[in-house]
Structure formats: structure tokens, C-alpha cells
């Protein structure tokens, strides 16, 4: 079955392109130490703001640091934030969605009213409020993005569970005396994995974009850790004389988010039973 869905995914050119880009980014992040021509934090003030040339393929920044090296190490930050934040989102959203959908009644009402309250606040501004009380760091950004991005997934999972809990096989499992936990995690959860996977894939792109925005505002990953959003902040100050400082990290964010969106859309089509 897994092979069948994989073949369906690979038949979609856009999804395949997104998958190739993501695998290339993962490889670049893993091998960043080997591929980087310089130490990303090493400063050469006499070589500051040099345009792309031999030895510095993407130029240097305002402190003389090699932009290519910082771009490669920035992959680790962006993908790390995206994957960890989405992991937190999936755990919280799935558990609450399963509980609300299966239990119903008062428990469902309490959970969904809480979800509605969280959704009333714009996510980015909610993140800004939380970070204002915490010290900005890589781990803070990961946690805050994950904790504030689960409501949409919780509502999605709940809707799927409300449909599944009325199926005949669930009624038969109840008649056999199976416990609530086994019903939820063995018989219901596997049937809602597909929309969770799609939401998680799309969520990685959103998390990367959010991290870049926070770093751009100086509230995300702090120096000397290399971050694409942080590099954009530097680039905007020299946009008229050093175009490369904004172009390369901006394109990297665009391509990465686009790749995850293409893959997410491909997964949605591949896992959709209506298109079998």
C-alpha cells in the first residue's frame, strides 16, 4: 500500500520537484560543515560587502562573513525550526482533536471553545506576545511556533473522527469490549493519518516562513547563529549597494516554502481515496 501511494506521488511532477528540492536542502544542511568554504561566523572586515566572485560565490556581508557558508548553515536552522515546530503542532493538535471528536459532549465543547479562543488571535501577533516574555532563542522559536499553530489541525482531526466514530467497524469494536484508548489509537488514528501528514507537510513551510519573519524583526534566532531571516535584516540596510545580501536568503526562503507546499499538495492528491 505504501508503495502504491509513493508511485502516485512520484507521478506528479510538481510534487516530485518539491521532494527533490527538500532532499537537496536536507543533504545541504547535513553536509553544511563540509560544503561551507569558510566558517560562517568568521569575520574579515577588510573584505566586507564584496560582490559575488571567485572565492566568495555569494559575496560577503557587512562584517566580511561568507554569505554562502551562512546560507548553508541557515538550512539547519530553517528546517530544524520547521520540523520541530510541526512535531509539537501534530502532537497537540492530534491529541486534542481525537479527544474532542471521540468523547463529544462537554469535553468536545470545552476543547473546541478553547480552540475558538486561540483562533481569535492572529497567530503571528500571538507569537510576538509570547516571545516578548521569553528570551529569544532557537529553542524558544521552535516551541512557540509549535504551541501556537495546532488549532487548525485539531479542528481537522476532530472533523475526521466525528465521521469515523459512527462507522460499523467502530461499533463492532465497542461490542467486543475494546477500551477507549485502543479504539482511538488503534482503530481511529490510522484512518486520520493521511490528512495529518498533509497538514504537517504544509505546516513546515508556514513554520519556516514564521521563523524568518521573527528573525527579520530580531525576535527569532540570535547571532552568531546563521538564519535566513536574520540575513535579510542585514540585507535591507544595504539593499542599494549590496543586492546579494537580500537576494540569496530571500530566494532560499521562497524556494523552500514553495517546495514544501508542492509536496504537501502532492501528498493530498496521492492520499485522497476519491482519486483512486
d(CA 110, CA 147): 18
pLDDT computed for residue 274 by the predictor: 52
Closest by CA position to 69, among listed 30, 41, 27: 41
Of the CA atoms within 13 Å of residue 237, those in its CB half-sphere come to 9
d(CA 9, CA 36): 33
> Could you give the 3-state DSSP secondary structure of residue 36?
coil
Region 112-118 average pLDDT: 88
Give me the residues paired with residue 60 across strands. Answer: 66
d(CA 76, CA 180): 40
Query: Could you tell me which CATH number the domain at 12-36+60-275 has?
Result: 1.10.3720.10
Give the dihedral of Cα atoms 222, 225, 231, 234; nearest 10 deg. 60
- Extents of the domains making up the chain: 12-36+60-275
Tens of pLDDT, residue by residue over 258-270, are 998 888 888 877 7
Tens of pLDDT, residue by residue over 13-67, are 888 888 899 999 999 989 888 888 888 888 888 888 888 888 888 888 888 888 8
d(CA 227, CA 142): 13
pLDDT computed for residue 89 by the predictor: 92
Instruction: Confirm if 49 and 242 have CB atoms less than 8 A apart.
Output: yes
d(CA 251, CA 190): 37
pTM, entire model: 0.84
Amino acid at each position: 500500500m505504501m508503495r502504491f501511494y509513493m508511485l502516485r506521488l512520484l507521478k506528479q511532477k510538481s510534487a516530485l520537484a518539491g521532494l527533490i528540492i527538500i532532499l537537496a536542502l536536507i543533504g545541504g544542511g547535513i553536509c553544511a560543515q563540509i560544503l561551507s568554504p569558510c566558517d560562517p561566523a568568521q569575520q574579515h572586515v577588510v573584505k566586507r560587502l564584496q560582490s559575488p566572485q571567485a572565492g566568495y560565490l555569494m559575496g560577503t556581508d557587512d562584517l566580511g562573513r561568507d554569505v554562502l557558508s551562512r546560507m548553508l548553515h541557515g538550512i539547519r536552522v530553517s528546517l530544524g525550526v520547521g520540523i520541530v515546530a510541526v512535531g509539537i503542532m501534530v502532537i497537540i493538535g492530534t491529541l486534542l482533536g481525537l479527544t474532542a471528536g471521540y468523547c463529544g459532549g462537554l469535553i468536545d465543547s470545552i476543547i473546541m471553545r478553547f480552540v475558538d479562543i486561540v483562533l481569535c488571535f492572529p497567530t503571528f501577533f500571538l507569537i510576538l506576545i509570547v516571545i516578548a516574555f521569553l528570551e529569544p532563542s532557537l529553542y524558544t522559536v521552535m516551541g512557540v511556533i509549535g504551541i501556537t499553530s495546532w488549532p487548525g489541525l485539531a479542528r481537522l482531526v476532530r472533523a475526521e473522527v466525528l465521521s469515523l466514530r459512527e462507522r460499523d467497524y467502530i461499533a463492532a469494536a465497542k461490542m467486543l469490549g475494546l477500551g477507549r484508548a485502543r479504539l482511538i489509537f488503534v482503530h481511529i488514528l490510522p484512518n486520520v493519518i493521511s490528512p495529518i501528514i498533509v497538514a504537517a507537510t504544509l505546516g513546515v513551510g508556514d513554520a519556516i516562513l514564521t521563523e524568518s519573519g521573527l528573525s527579520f524583526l530580531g525576535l527569532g534566532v540570535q547571532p552568531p547563529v546563521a538564519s535566513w531571516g536574520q540575513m535579510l535584516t542585514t540585507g535591507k540596510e544595504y539593499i542599494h549597494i549590496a543586492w546579494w545580501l537580500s537576494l540569496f536568503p530571500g530566494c532560499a526562503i521562497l524556494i523552500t516554502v514553495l517546495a514544501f507546499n508542492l509536496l504537501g499538495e502532492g501528498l493530498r492528491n496521492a492520499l485522497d481515496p476519491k482519486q483512486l
